[in-house]
Each structure stands twice: as C-alpha cells, then as structure tokens.
Amino acid sequence: MPSPEKTDLVIRPAMPADVAALHDLEQSSFARDRLSRRRLRHWVTADNCVFLLAERDTSLLGYALVILRRGTRLARLYSLAVASSARGQGIGRCLVSAVERAASDSGRFFMRLEVAEHNQAAIALYQALGYRAFGRYLNYYQDDSHALRMQKRIHYHPENLHRLAVPWYRQTTDFTCGPAAAMMAMAALDSSYRPSVSEELALWREATTIFMTSGHGGCHPVGLGLALRARGFDASVYLNREGPLFIDSVRAAGKKKVISQVDADFRAAATAAGMQVVPEEFTQEQLQQWLGSGALVLLLVSTYRLDGKKVPHWVTLVGMDDRCLYVHDPDSDELWDQLDSSYLPIAREDFARMSMFGRERLRTAVVVRS
C-alpha cells in the first residue's frame, strides 16, 4: 500500500468551488445521514470549523469536517469520507491527522466523534490514531444502528482529573438549566435519586427569581441551595454580591421590586435553615478542593463565549485538571448533543471570564454534598 505522504497527495481547505464535488462524494460514500449540498455550502464558509479535503491531480479523494465549539476547548470530527477508489491508501489517516493539527492550533484540547458500532474499519482507524471509547448512543443513526462515542486528547498535558461519574440530563425548557444542573449533581451523589421532568419543573418553581431578562425567570443560587437541602442534600452558596441579583436585567420598577423581595426572602430562608451563604469570591483552587472532597458544584456562567448571547446559564462542574474545568452543560442542540455537552472542557483562563455575569460582575457557586 503506498503511503500518501510519499505521493503527490494534496490536503487543503475546502472552498465554495468544491461543493459540487464534495456533494458527489457524500452521495457515493453514505447511504443515509448525508450532508446536503446546502449544509456543505454552509460549512465551506463557516468560521467555526476545520474543513479539509484530499486530492490528487485535482481529483477529490476524501474530506474531513471538524466543528469547533465556541468558548470551549472541544472539537468534534463531524464527518469523514474517502472515495471508494482511494480506500486502503491511508488517506483517511492523513485527513484525521491534519484536522487534529489544525484543531490543536486553534486552541482545542480534545477531539470527539461518533462512529457506527458495526463500522469496524473506521473504529480500527480511530483506535490506531489514539481515540478511546467512552460511551454509546443507542439507535443513533437513521437505520437505528448504535454509535460508539470516542475521544482523543489532541493537545496533551498531564492529567489530574477528580470527578464522580455524573449522569448527563438535557434541560427540557429554555429556563430550567438550574434544575437540570442540580438534578445531575443529585443523581451522581445519590444513586437512588431519579431526575424527571416533573422534578425539573418543581425545582424551578422553588428556586426561580420570577423575573430575569426576558421571558421566564431563572434560578437564584440561594433558591437552588434551599431546594437541594429540601431534598436531603447539603448545600452551601458562594455569592460575591449582597444586594438583589439580576435586578439590572429588567427595567420596570414593579419587576425590580419583585426581584428584590424574592432575593430578600431567599436569604431570610437560608438564615432560618442554617444554610451557609458566603459573601465572597471563590477561587479555582477552592473548586478543585471541593471536587477532591467528593462534592459537586453548580456554576453560573455567561453564555456569551458559547453562543454570542449574554444569558446566565447554570452548568455542573464535574472535574478539573491542570488546564481545564470539565462541566456538564444541560443545554444542547442538533450539533452539540450529549457527546459534546458532557465533560465539556473549558480552559481555566477562559472560565475566569465566563464565570462572571452582567454589569454587576456576578460570580456564584452552589456546592453540593450528599
């Protein structure tokens, strides 16, 4: 088998002029779950991906598409195709290695992918390149076949990760990220605890601020702490503000009055229950100590670096190492599903900016123990 590195194989970025040939390759490579011509046209001009193709004598032999998740250190190998006439020549290996280098150069630490469990040739390739399996998706593809989930560290550094096995839960509404994050922590700390939609909404009713930005209100950290305590868990809250939270996010005087009342009531309830509310900043060193002691932490982050929207969002901190914090993000879409929303790597320096919200520079954490 000739090595493609020793031939005139060219690997280069895909361009709009390549869409027709890429579409023909897509049609001939996959019987289902294909990228449409419209999606291929989108990805060749997108700025949050690496899209490379392999050609020889201007003939398209294969491509690899990697999506870069904004605000994180995670890349996803979204699609890989090699022309049937070019298989067995190492072209897939060259493409994967090339997109790994490009993703690493863009600051990504991890590459993830999913592959059909029956595709033993692809699995063998990924294993040979250093990918390891870390889960499965049942009935993932259009034909109901299962997918293997694989990951590789493409920017290596010594790992010192402390974490529990934390189940991932997808929030079912736009406003219940706090309850979803809390349920993930409770399910990890108590194997008998069962997350559910009813529980998700009950937690939101107990912890909501009533008003916040537009639409339904989000969850107050003290409200979440009280809800966790009501379910038998130990909770403490670190909060760098003493006044009402999120009050700058609404304009109406009546809404501001309600927010202030809810904030005061939550704080009074915490005092009556003996729940610790620490009016201080917390550090990343404290986060690591809490994880090392067996706790989990609910963190409020700004989604600006994730999706360009300045929205407060709760995630569950499940691990840390020398370079990254790892979170379960309860929000997901068709591109970023459980594969990319569990153990999501966020660089320490990025987290320092993401963990402050709004003009008030709010930073808060709810520490949960069994």
Confidence of residue 2 (pLDDT cuts 50, 70, 90): very low
Question: Which residue, of 153, 188, 214, is where some domain finishes?
Answer: 153
Closest Cα to residue 64, out of 124, 134, 75?
75
Q: What is the pLDDT of residues 21-48, one digit of tens each?
A: 999 999 999 888 799 999 999 999 999 9
User: Is 232 found in the same domain as 131?
Assistant: no
Kindly give, in sequence order, each residue whose CB lies less than 8 Å from that of residue 124, ignoring residues fewer than 6 positions away.
Answer: none
Q: What is the C-alpha to C-alpha distance for residues 315 and 184, in angstroms, rounded to an integer?
A: 9
Q: What is the C-alpha to C-alpha distance for residues 259 and 2, in angstroms, rounded to an integer?
A: 69
- Report yes or no on 113 lying in a domain: yes
Confidence of residue 246 (pLDDT cuts 50, 70, 90): confident
CATH number for the domain including 104? Answer: 3.40.630.30
| Strand duo 234-239 + 147-153: pairing | unpaired
CA distances from 352 to 9, 210, 257, 321 (A): 43, 28, 31, 15
- Report yes or no on 362 lying in a domain: yes
Q: Tell me the pTM.
A: 0.67
Poorest-pLDDT segment among 28-37, 210-219, 251-260:
210-219
Question: Which residue, of 137, 153, 169, is where some domain finishes?
Answer: 153
CATH number for the domain including 364? Answer: 3.90.70.10
Q: Specify the pLDDT at position 322.
A: 78
DSSP result, 152-185: EESS----------------SSTT-HHHHHHHHH
Is the pLDDT at 186 greater than 70, yes or no?
Answer: yes
| Strand duo 364-369 + 234-239: pairing | antiparallel
Please report how many Cα atoms fall inside a 13 Å half-sphere around the Cα of residue 244, on the Cβ side.
Answer: 20
| Averaged pLDDT for residues 244-271 | 88
User: Is 76 found in the same domain as 25?
Assistant: yes
Is the pLDDT at 185 greater than 90, yes or no?
Answer: yes
- Report yes or no on 167 lying in a domain: no
Enter the tokens of residue 338.
């459980």
Poorest-pLDDT segment among 137-141, 180-184, 185-189, 262-266:
137-141
Closest Cα to residue 342, out of 135, 144, 34?
135
* Overall domain count for the chain: 2
Q: Is the dihedral of CA 340, 343, 345, 349 positive or negative?
A: positive
User: Is 253 found in the same domain as 135?
Assistant: no
Q: Specify the pLDDT at position 337.
A: 54
Kindly give, in sequence order, each residue whose CB lies less than 8 Å from that of residue 320, ignoring residues fewer than 6 positions away.
Answer: 161, 162, 284, 287, 288, 291, 326
User: Is 209 found in the same domain as 340?
Assistant: yes
- Report yes or no on 353 lying in a domain: yes
User: Is 249 found in the same domain as 216?
Assistant: yes
Q: Specify the pLDDT at position 306.
A: 59
- Across the chain, what does the average pLDDT equal? 87
The phi and psi torsions of 363 (rounded to 5 degrees) equal -135, 125
Question: Which residue, of 119, 153, 187, is where some domain finishes?
Answer: 153
Q: Which has more confidence, 200 or 88?
A: 200
User: Is 181 found in the same domain as 148?
Assistant: no
- Report yes or no on 354 lying in a domain: yes
Q: For the packed helices 120-128 and 91-105, what is the interaxial angle rounded to 10 degrees? A: 50
Contact (CB, 8 A) for 26 and 35: yes
- Report yes or no on 164 lying in a domain: no
User: Is 307 found in the same domain as 225?
Assistant: yes
Q: What is the C-alpha to C-alpha distance for residues 97 and 64, in angstroms, rounded to an integer?
A: 10
| Averaged pLDDT for residues 306-314 | 70
Q: Which domain holds residue 66?
A: 4-153
User: Helix, strand, coil % (nearest 5) of the chain?
Assistant: 35, 25, 40
**Neighbour-count burial of 304, counting CB atoms closer than 10 A to its CB (0-12 exposed, 13-18 middle, 19+ buried):** middle
User: Is 137 found in the same domain as 26?
Assistant: yes
User: Is 149 found in the same domain as 181?
Assistant: no
Confidence of residue 310 (pLDDT cuts 50, 70, 90): low
User: Is 93 found in the same domain as 11?
Assistant: yes
- Report yes or no on 163 lying in a domain: no
Q: Specify the pLDDT at position 157.
A: 43
Could you write out the three-class secondary structure of 118-131?
CCHHHHHHHHHCCC
| Averaged pLDDT for residues 124-149 | 81
Q: What is the C-alpha to C-alpha distance for residues 122 and 91, in angstroms, rounded to an integer?
A: 12
Confidence of residue 63 (pLDDT cuts 50, 70, 90): very high
User: Is 148 found in the same domain as 203?
Assistant: no
CA distance from start to end of the chain: 57
Contact (CB, 8 A) for 22 and 63: yes
- Report yes or no on 158 lying in a domain: no
DSSP H or E run through 316: strand 312-320
| Strand duo 59-68 + 49-56: pairing | antiparallel
Q: Specify the pLDDT at position 160.
A: 45
User: Is 138 found in the same domain as 36?
Assistant: yes
Is the pLDDT at 1 greater than 80, yes or no?
Answer: no
Is the pLDDT at 336 greater than 80, yes or no?
Answer: no
pLDDT above 90 covers what percent of the chain?
54
| Averaged pLDDT for residues 304-331 | 80
Q: Specify the pLDDT at position 159.
A: 47
